[in-house]
Structure 1
Amino acid sequence: MNTEAQIREKIGFVFIYGAGLNRSIWEKVAADLEHPCLLVDFPLRDGSRKPEQGLSLNDYVAYMKKQVEAWQVPKFIIVAHSLGGVPALQLAEEMSERLAGFVAVGASIPRKGGSFLSALPLPKRMLMAVLLRSLGTRPPDAAIRSGLCHDLSAGQGEEIVRNFIPESVRVYTDRVEADVPSVPKLYIKLQKDKEFNEAHQNKMIANFAPQHIASLDTGHLPMLSDPDGLRLALQDFAAKL
């Protein structure tokens, strides 16, 4: 019979980043976690497709699901950040037999039948709808620096700007037809977040109904500005399972 320690060792973390980013943002957090880690990628990262080709939310989920299906870890905790909360909900439902927990890090958690766009406060939703039609899904460099990167070092900020990859418009607008999973859940609030303010994060928490809430004194990218604090929150959550 497996001991509790042996069972816990088999639980991994599946990390899902937010819009425009790539798997490397999780590396500092995952490096010293005492659990297996899978840093999944969205499509479009190899430059072979253009976002205007119209990949759907289902396409994103299917792309990530293939990566998780190939991973030889029986049980896992999803860790989803920002926009990544939207495909993560659907991935969680489709892989519920392996799901041990769900952590939302400043993540968008729309209600069933909603989208990333519909979950935004009305003024921001209207503005973003206009911007998506006129400018696409890559914000101006100045907006990336001031919103995503305001509490990062200059070097970290420039790397985010340089490597930012526009997503398909449909990952913002397609509706999620998945329920919030009935597993242990943690929402990590980001106290200095300029992308999702406290009121919006509180709305996402209400939708998510987590058993646990933690806070980090960071902006929107705690995996870069406070990787140790984020790692500790994840380890504490895993220890409670």
Structure 2
Amino acid sequence: MQTKLLQKIGVVFINGAGLESRIWSKVVEGLEHPILLVDFPLRKGTVDARSRLSMEDYVMHIKRQVDEWGIHKLVLVAHSLGGVLALKLAAQLTDRLAGFVAVGAAIPKNGGSFLSVLPFPKRMIMSAILRTLGTKPPESAIRAGLCHDLSPDHTAEITKGFIPEAIRVYMDRIGVSSPNVPRLYVKLTNDKELSPSLQDHMISNLSPQFVRSLETGHLPMLSDPDGLRVILEDFMENVR
């Protein structure tokens, strides 16, 4: 069984800002592919230690986990801020990449950053907030943006466990374009964090061959893990 799994295409899951890899745990149950849930650097370290990290530090930390995994061909599945990391990572894995999935993800144009995908007024406001107040939103904002359609238990888990990221992961620019592999964008039609209209711009930037929709908020891996798993399973039929 293990040998058969090693011959299959693997799936690498990259979470969004403030979250941990276990957020995908319900989605990956039953997926008949090797699975890697990657962690961001210094997750157990101090806020001060993480604050010095760059976008490149995040990407290289993820790439080391992928390289140590032992699976050659892989699909990247990225959520939210993880879309920016996944694009940069994909450019370093061109000989191994079999597919790319963006789940309500930020997809900047070549030379852009996470902040660059936001409309101009919101971009300026968020830039000022990040520089003055840091990268952990108030609990009220987390509840309204990330958790508005989640259960009380999931909401409590997200608000209490939110981990501030390095500011540069939002601001560093990436000089890469969409990877030349099968691409899927999963649009979240009830998302209050990355609005459906803004996701339409992300879809335009990614130019995916496939677009699927889920009627969820920003965290479908918690609110509809079965629906997201079905979409991923369907997509995996299109990659080789």
**TM-score bucket (shorter structure):** over 0.9
Gaps of 5+ in 1: 1-5
Query: Which among 118, 124, 127 is matched to residue 125 of structure 2?
Result: 127
Query: Is structure 2 residue 218 aligned with structure 1 residue 220?
Result: yes
Aligned residues of 1:44 and 1:167 also touching (Cα < 8 A): no
Query: Which residue is 1:193 aligned to?
Result: 191
Query: Which residue is 1:61 aligned to?
Result: 59
Aligned residues of 1:106 and 1:201 also touching (Cα < 8 A): yes
Query: Which residue is 1:3 aligned to?
Result: none
SS of structure 2 residue aligned to 1:50? helix
Aligned residues of 1:77 and 1:102 also touching (Cα < 8 A): yes
Query: Which among 178, 181, 184 is matched to residue 183 of structure 1?
Result: 181
Aligned residues of 1:151 and 1:225 also touching (Cα < 8 A): yes
- TM-superposition CA deviations, 1:101-150 (whole Å, max 9, x none): 00000000001100000111112111101111121000001100110000
Alpha-carbon distance in structure 2 between the residues aligned to 1:168 and 1:104: 22
Q: Which amino acid aligns with 1:240?
A: N
Query: Which among 51, 70, 73 is matched to residue 71 of structure 2?
Result: 73
Alpha-carbon distance in structure 2 between the residues aligned to 1:212 and 1:64: 26
The alpha-carbon deviation at position 44 of structure 1 amounts to: 2.6
SS of structure 2 residue aligned to 1:183? coil
The alpha-carbon deviation at position 51 of structure 1 amounts to: 5.5
Alpha-carbon distance in structure 1 between the residues aligned to 2:42 and 2:175: 23
RMSD between aligned residues: 1.4
Query: Which residue is 1:229 aligned to?
Result: 227
Aligned residues of 2:214 and 2:228 also touching (Cα < 8 A): yes
Alpha-carbon distance in structure 2 between the residues aligned to 1:70 and 1:8: 13
Q: Which amino acid aligns with 1:151?
A: D
Alpha-carbon distance in structure 2 between the residues aligned to 1:96 and 1:38: 18
Alpha-carbon distance in structure 1 between the residues aligned to 2:50 and 2:6: 42
The alpha-carbon deviation at position 7 of structure 1 amounts to: 9.4
TM-score, L = length of structure 2? 0.95
Query: Which residue is 2:11 aligned to?
Result: 13
Query: Which residue is 1:211 aligned to?
Result: 209
The alpha-carbon deviation at position 50 of structure 1 amounts to: 2.5
Query: Which among 87, 90, 94 is matched to residue 89 of structure 1?
Result: 87
Aligned residues of 1:29 and 1:223 also touching (Cα < 8 A): yes
Alpha-carbon distance in structure 2 between the residues aligned to 1:24 and 1:137: 21
Aligned residues of 1:86 and 1:116 also touching (Cα < 8 A): yes
Aligned-residue sequence identity (percent) comes to 58
- TM-superposition CA deviations, 1:165-201 (whole Å, max 9, x none): 0000000000011121000000000010001111110
Query: Using a 3 Å threshold, how does the CA distance of structure 1 residues 168 and 228 change in structure 2: closer, same or farther?
Result: same
* Structure 1 consecutive aligned stretches of length 4 or more whose deviation exceeds 3 Å: 6-9
Query: Using a 3 Å threshold, how does the CA distance of structure 1 residues 131 and 181 change in structure 2: closer, same or farther?
Result: same
Q: Which amino acid aligns with 1:32?
A: G
TM-score, L = length of structure 1? 0.95
Alpha-carbon distance in structure 2 between the residues aligned to 1:51 and 1:21: 17
Query: Using a 3 Å threshold, how does the CA distance of structure 1 residues 198 and 8 change in structure 2: closer, same or farther?
Result: farther
Query: Using a 3 Å threshold, how does the CA distance of structure 1 residues 23 and 170 change in structure 2: closer, same or farther?
Result: same
Gaps of 5+ in 2: none
Aligned residues of 2:6 and 2:34 also touching (Cα < 8 A): no
